[in-house]
Homo-oligomer: A and B are copies of this chain.
Amino acid sequence: MKSPKKLSSWRAKIHEIIYGTHTPAGKLFDIILLFAIIYSIVIVMLESVKSLDNKYHDFFNISEWVITILFTIEYILRIISVSKPRKYIFSFYGIVDLLSTLPKYISYFIVDTHFLSVFRALRLLRVFRILKLIRFVGESNNLVRALKNSRSKIFIFIFFIFIISIILGTVMYLIEGPENGFKSIPQSIYWCIVTLTTVGFGDITPQTTLGQILATFIMIIGYGIIAVPTGIVSAEYTASKEKTPNLTNSACENCGADIILSDAEYCRKCGHKLHK
């Protein structure tokens, strides 16, 4: 993340503040950005509560404009201070940063009266600002690796859930029929997935004896096969952990004993002082 030499000194400084995390200014910028994101998300959420929107409409509107302008400045500074702007603009974060600012501007130019619902939808796009928070999450390499290794197996697993749901959903539609709330096959499949994943809303429930027996069967399947993704991730995670010994797994220079606890200052086997 070191700023390339080509950048002029003030651009290098901006780069350090925006992308860097080690200087006080860089840290301050990150903290301000963090709160701005959370604040903007909270505003988007509260705006949707009618009673609050009626009371504080102007406050919400001004807050939105302030945040949008701040994010616009941030977006422009990011483009300026980076040596390859095009790469940033089309990167994941670049698109998220752009999407965070656009909706408010579009809402200004479009006359609300005619495009009210589209306008409303665009405003809510701002919720994607939350993806900016991912910047602040430290890497969890083992976890991601375990998920990546499990990917194909989890895909097969979800595929089988769909096949089971389509078949059993169709059978439930046949047994229960529209008169008991299973109005169509897609809805029966929806019910089947609700049941299989043990969510169980209860808005649609089997009424016939045969339907309840099949529902019992579906529930036990769902209860049992939850073990499958768990087993896969668990095993893959264990495997990926074993492959990559964590940092505290060093050895004593004197006697070669393994040092397990990272706060060790002396070897627990020979008493040798550890150099760290």
Main SS of chain A's interface residues? helix
A127 neighbours in B (Cβ, 8 Å): 166-167, 170, 185
Q: Is A80 an interface residue (CB 8 A)?
A: no
> Separation in Å of the A262 CB from the closest CB of chain B?
10
Most chain B CB neighbours (cut-off 10 Å) among A213, A215, A234, A264: A234
* Size range of the chain A interface in the assembly: 35 or more
A205 neighbours in B (Cβ, 8 Å): 201, 203
Segment with Cβ contacts to B, from A4-12, A25-33, A152-160: A152-160
A199 neighbours in B (Cβ, 8 Å): 195, 198-200, 219, 222-223
Given contacts A198-B198, A227-B229, A268-B266, contact A48 B184 (CB under 8 A): yes
Segment with Cβ contacts to B, from A68-76, A86-94, A235-243: A235-243
Q: Is A128 an interface residue (CB 8 A)?
A: yes
Would A170 and B269 count as touching, CB distance under 8 A? Answer: no
Q: Is A79 an interface residue (CB 8 A)?
A: no
Smallest CB-CB separation from A167: which chain B residue?
B127
> Once bound together, how far apart are the Cα atoms of A120 and B47, in whole Å?
34
Given contacts A202-B202, A266-B271, A271-B271, contact A124 B197 (CB under 8 A): no
Smallest CB-CB separation from A194: which chain B residue?
B219
Would B143 and A228 count as touching, CB distance under 8 A? Answer: yes
Would B227 and A158 count as touching, CB distance under 8 A? Answer: no
> Separation in Å of the A268 CB from the closest CB of chain B?
4
A235 neighbours in B (Cβ, 8 Å): 231, 234, 237-238, 241
> Separation in Å of the A52 CB from the closest CB of chain B?
8
Given contacts A140-B156, A220-B158, A241-B235, contact A163 B134 (CB under 8 A): yes
Would A216 and B190 count as touching, CB distance under 8 A? Answer: yes
Would A266 and B265 count as touching, CB distance under 8 A? Answer: no
> Once bound together, how far apart are the Cα atoms of A214 and B46, in whole Å?
18
> Separation in Å of the A234 CB from the closest CB of chain B?
4
Would B194 and A200 count as touching, CB distance under 8 A? Answer: yes
Q: Which residues of A contact B (CB under 8 A)?
A: 41, 44-50, 120-121, 124, 127-128, 130-131, 133-134, 137-138, 140, 143, 146-147, 152-154, 156-159, 161, 163, 166-167, 170, 173-174, 178, 183-187, 189-190, 193-203, 205, 209, 212-213, 215-216, 219-220, 222-224, 226-239, 241, 243, 260-261, 263-271, 273
- Identify 13 residue pairs between A and B in the complex whose beta-carbon atoms are under 8 Å apart, listed by A's number: A50-B178, A143-B232, A146-B231, A158-B224, A196-B223, A197-B223, A200-B200, A202-B203, A234-B238, A263-B269, A264-B268, A266-B271, A267-B268
